[in-house]
């Protein structure tokens, strides 16, 4: 079952597959058939202010490019965020959505 805080390898219709951090809940997935994800930041490092980028085990996820993907595009779960990172993700999503 896919859930908040999972890190998956995903097919995002790009040349190569990318890691994504799932920021939606299993209930959302059941109702919509989709997941809200923050993709791994690619390309040159940029200074992006919080809460738009979060590091998890050395991988930077871009909350400024969050999107939904069909669940079948999440190819395999590769990791799960540690508790400290999960709290940071929840704060970031709350900050972004509540202004």
Predicted local confidence at residue 45, as pLDDT:
74
**Per residue in 3-38, pLDDT tens?**
999 999 999 988 889 999 999 999 999 999 999 999
pTM comes to 0.89
Q: Which CATH architecture has domain 6-98?
A: Roll (2.30)
The per-residue b/e assignment along 18-46, b for 16 or more CB within 10 angstroms, e otherwise, is bbbbbbbeeebbeeeebbbbbbbbeeeee
**Per residue in 40-49, pLDDT tens?**
998 777 777 7
């Amino acid at each position: 079952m896919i859930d908040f805080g999972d890190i998956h390898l995903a097919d995002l219709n790009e040349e190569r597959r990318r890691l994504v951090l799932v920021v939606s809940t299993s209930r959302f997935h059941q109702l919509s058939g989709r997941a809200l994800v923050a993709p791994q930041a690619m390309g040159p490092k940029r200074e992006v202010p919080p809460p738009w980028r979060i590091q998890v085990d050395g991988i930077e996820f871009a909350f400024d490019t969050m999107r939904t993907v069909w669940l079948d595009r999440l190819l395999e779960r590769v990791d799960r965020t540690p508790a400290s990172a999960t709290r940071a993700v929840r704060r970031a999503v709350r900050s972004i959505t509540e202004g």
